[in-house]
Structure 1
């Protein structure tokens, strides 16, 4: 069997794409390795009717919905290779099974690489986060910190003032702030700590204070750490998709990549912002492009 479309990735983008394509009466296989990036997140916010839903609950509801359509096959497997063929694409999974499809959507997302700071991962998703829009509300008016080694530190610091004025900015020993940035932050009475961070110290599973390499300690109850984003899988790069300056992949704005028949859905192409509602919407938009292109070919 050759599917009309295969989707690699079982997050909000891939699942929503499968729903739309399945409802268009196209045969679609969604290949899901069951390793969601937001597994550590306590709750997802900012998605109307689903505000505060746990990632497990969201995923469970979405999988059951797509399974309601006989045109959709939800396959729990990990794809290890993708090749272009005369039919479209051939995918092989980790147990040697091959699958063919006319069109391919990569909804594989991105992964975060965080600074190597002791104590970070036990607190990630509990009191340390990366998205103010997702978790800023829960830390409102609390003593918080923002840690970033990148030029976006100044922008993030300004943004966080909407949630709390008790803010400490940490560069972790990197030159991520200009002199003008520093001047503006200090004018708002924001403390800037340039020392490398040696550890995040917790109490009962929540951040209590930050310890710096010079021995300094400051109390904080939570905050935000900026990661470096990288692609989760190498398929697009191996197939020759053109990259963007931000690290994503070029599309026509409707999901079509620079490789005919290959599409992107979710943050694999645009890198940020990384929210469930963005990913799901992008999955829907890309799915419509796939169906339109199949319609034109078949007609």
Structure 2
């Protein structure tokens, strides 16, 4: 199997440097026409980074245009998508990559810094996805990637704002992959670890940093936007490692109405967190069905006979 994007149009946000730049160049190298979005010094202005990436793509024989939209501003995002449609007539791939950091312990974090990070990472992904959603439904095809993070999936000191936003995009994926499936719109998450401006101060050993290439992460991104991509996957990538992060729920317990007290819940905590029969639930109704089945079993009701 050979992955290519001939005839496809991709939008990559935050593509003037780092991971976004790597994603844009790799998509173009495999045939995609690429919109290189990057926020300029002023809203809507073209950044030097976006222009440089477009020049690189064109020098290699590809097609690209630069765009300076602020992803947190829906009006600017709509203009970005309109520009794309005017230029190439379709949008096949959206890579929600744009992001910022405002790290500080939660107690010392100004609420404005929390809101700003959520606006860029979560609402930026919402805005861009909303702006292409109807287009992808109409054409019967789309591949969308949200950029999540281990800070959201697992937590990281000083990143309550970033972690909340990054877990938010995973929740966004969980619903959109269901709503888009019948239109062949697949939605996945990339959870990257790479040596970029965001991480270079966190890891001291240069030998390790040298292994944490943006190219190793971009390989995972390319898989998630391929025609043969999975759906509803959180793919961790970094330093050549690739793994799927999965949210599972333990089998748990059942308590009859008279037993439903906080004391009994805490007394049975070992059973509640026993992972031996845990499973991945792929929609909210699956959790409801599981709990109802436990209650029905206690009452001796055969739900299958209904």
Fold conserved between structures, TM > 0.5: no
- TM-score norm. by structure 2 comes to 0.36
Higher strand share: 1
- TM-score norm. by structure 1 comes to 0.36
Q: Which has the higher contact order (CA 8 A, sep 6+)?
A: 1
